[in-house]
Structure 1
Amino acid sequence: MNRLLLEARKIHKKAVKEFERGDLWNDRMLIRDSAEKAWLSALKAIDALITTRGEELPFGAGAHEFRNIDRISAMLNGER
Structure 2
Amino acid sequence: MVQSIQTLFITSKETPPLIFNTSKIEKSKNLVEQNRHLQQLKPLLKYITKTLGTKYRKTTTKQYTLLLLLMIKHLE
Q: TM-score, normalised by structure 1?
A: 0.39
Structure showing greater relative contact order (alpha-carbon pairs closer than 8 Å, 6 or more residues apart):
1
Question: Who wins on radius of gyration, i.e. which is larger?
Answer: 2
Q: TM-score, normalised by structure 2?
A: 0.41
